[in-house]
């Protein structure tokens, strides 16, 4: 079922939306409406940061050589947390050729944020053979419930909400795919393509005690139906009794989770981490070339049909791929020196042309981010738009995000420079 590979599955999700700062330990909290690496040093401070202020440090998710050795994604994780994992090879034929399996863990080991591998599954009312694993989920809600149960047996789903903002970058690609499939079949069958985004809040217990978790996903579903050519022939049609042939193929495009002790799950911090990831342009080009060589896609087809490639969920279409790569360049410039990434010339979005601004603002709207100028690094960076104020820690590859206009890093023993939003 190679048509699913019109989309490049990646990590994390995109989207906008506000939410409460923590999920408490109540039985039914609700969601608000809209290679191993050593732990990096936390910004020096003499007083703990107040609630609602988060310090996030640059991190690279590396590919050991599955596609191209080096950084594949760049993003943020809480300062002082330890990161592990990266790009892994597919373990079954029905999969993207490269998957992201990455986790960052708090110093006490009790809280995590993670990107887990994308998934593909299939259901059919016929005995047709398939390389995909069998699965019946036809909605993102059902998928998340099944995934949570598999990861944390006995977990209780406490709340679910649709996130239509997650799929803003995928709708056009899904519509193009649907038209292409139906044109190719020329009336012999009908395929409906839908994209859904959602997140579930759940409770579970492990060796550390009662925990809370948030799991999010973007999923695309291909629902196909064809007339049964055996209908009316009882001798032949012994299985379906005249029913049409039906198949559902589901695939996740972005997957993310966060866990913490009950009462300590910081949903806003998790959102800021989730929104931060962008692809390394060199790795992305190598990935497209690899898939093209496999015969799964054509180089131009990637740009025309689009590919959901990262946390941001912004589609890498022909109209925005240059801006998207430029955005990724800003992340590279701000990654740890150990990644070996080069600093782009002129910042993330060079030039003042109205087209550049429109592209930047389009990406911002899709991903729920704001572009800030980092005067320490000399580049533009995109950070969670839920925070109105951002600071770059001097001599540390760390950003401090807050909604408090009166926050002063110096009062907490931190030397930092305030960043202004790019207009």
Q: Which of 38-47, 77-86, 167-176, 220-229 has the highest mean pLDDT?
A: 77-86
pLDDT mean over 73-93 = 91
pLDDT tens column, 397-422: 899 999 999 999 999 999 999 999 88
* CB 382, CB 348: distance < 8 Å: yes
pLDDT tens column, 161-217: 999 888 876 777 777 778 877 787 777 788 888 889 999 999 999 999 999 999 999
Q: In this predicted structure, what is the pLDDT of residue 245?
A: 83
> In which band, very low, low, confident or very high, does the pLDDT at 1 lie, cut at 50, 70 and 90?
very low
- Please tell me the pTM assigned to this model: 0.77
15 Rama sector, left if φ>0, alpha if ψ -120 to 50, beta otherwise: left
Q: Say whether pLDDT at 48 is over 80.
A: yes
| Ranges 130-134, 240-244, 253-257: which has the least confidence | 240-244
Higher-confidence residue: 290 or 365? 290
> In which band, very low, low, confident or very high, does the pLDDT at 347 lie, cut at 50, 70 and 90?
very low
Q: In this predicted structure, what is the pLDDT of residue 316?
A: 40
pLDDT tens column, 322-346: 555 555 444 444 443 333 334 333 3
Q: In this predicted structure, what is the pLDDT of residue 334?
A: 45
Q: Say whether pLDDT at 128 is over 70.
A: yes
φ, ψ at 339 (rounded to 5°): -75, -20
Tokens coding 175: 């519509």
β-strand 112-115 against 98-105: which pairing, if any? antiparallel
Residues 6+ apart with CB under 8 A from 366: 14, 168, 169, 312, 313, 314
Taking alpha carbons only, the member of 351, 363, 403, 399 closest to residue 371 is: 363
Tokens coding 113: 């944020």
| CA distance linking residue 295 with residue 156, whole number of Å | 43
pLDDT tens column, 244-299: 888 898 988 778 999 999 999 999 999 999 988 877 778 877 887 787 777 654 44
Q: How far is CA 324 from CA 45, 62, 123, 304, in A?
A: 35, 19, 35, 15
């Amino acid at each position: 079922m190679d048509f699913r590979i019109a989309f490049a599955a990646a990590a994390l999700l995109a989207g906008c939306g506000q939410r409460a700062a923590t999920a408490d330990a109540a039985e039914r909290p609700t969601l608000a409406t809209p290679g191993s690496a050593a732990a990096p040093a936390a910004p020096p401070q003499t007083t703990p940061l107040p609630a609602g202020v988060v310090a996030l440090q640059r991190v690279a998710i590396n590919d050991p050589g599955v596609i191209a050795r080096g950084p594949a994604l760049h993003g943020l994780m809480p300062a002082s947390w330890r990161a592990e994992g990266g790009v892994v090879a597919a373990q079954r034929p029905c999969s993207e050729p490269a998957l992201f399996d990455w986790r960052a863990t708090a110093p006490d080991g009790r809280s995590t944020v993670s990107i887990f591998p994308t998934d593909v599954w299939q259901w059919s009312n016929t005995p047709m053979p398939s390389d995909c694993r069998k699965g019946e989920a036809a909605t993102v809600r059902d998928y998340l419930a099944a995934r949570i149960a598999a990861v944390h047996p006995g977990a209780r789903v406490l709340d679910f909400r649709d996130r239509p903002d997650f799929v803003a970058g995928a709708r056009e690609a899904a519509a193009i795919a649907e038209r292409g499939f139906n044109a190719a079949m020329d009336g012999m069958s009908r395929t409906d393509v839908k994209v859904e985004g959602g997140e579930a809040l759940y409770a579970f217990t492990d060796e550390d005690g009662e925990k809370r978790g948030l799991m999010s996903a973007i999923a695309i579903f291909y629902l196909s139906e064809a007339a049964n050519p055996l209908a009316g022939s009882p001798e032949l049609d012994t299985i379906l009794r005249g029913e049409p042939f039906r198949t559902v193929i589901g695939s996740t495009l972005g997957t993310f989770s966060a866990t913490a002790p009950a009462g300590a799950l910081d949903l806003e911090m998790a959102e800021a981490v989730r929104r931060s990831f962008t692809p390394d342009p060199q790795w992305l080009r190598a990935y497209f070339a690899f898939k093209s060589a496999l015969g799964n896609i054509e180089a131009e087809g990637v740009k025309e049909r689009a590919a959901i490639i990262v946390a941001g969920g912004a589609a890498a279409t022909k109209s925005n791929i240059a801006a998207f790569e430029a955005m990724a360049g800003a992340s590279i410039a701000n990654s740890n020196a150990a990644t070996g990434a080069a600093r782009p010339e002129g910042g993330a979005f060079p030039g003042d042309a109205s087209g550049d601004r429109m592209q930047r603002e389009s990406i911002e709207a899709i991903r729920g981010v704001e572009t800030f100028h980092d005067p320490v690094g000399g580049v533009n960076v995109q950070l969670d738009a839920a925070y109105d104020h951002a600071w770059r820690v001097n001599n540390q590859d760390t950003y401090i995000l807050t909604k408090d206009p009166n926050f002063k890093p110096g009062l907490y023993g931190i030397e930092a420079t305030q960043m202004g939003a790019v207009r």
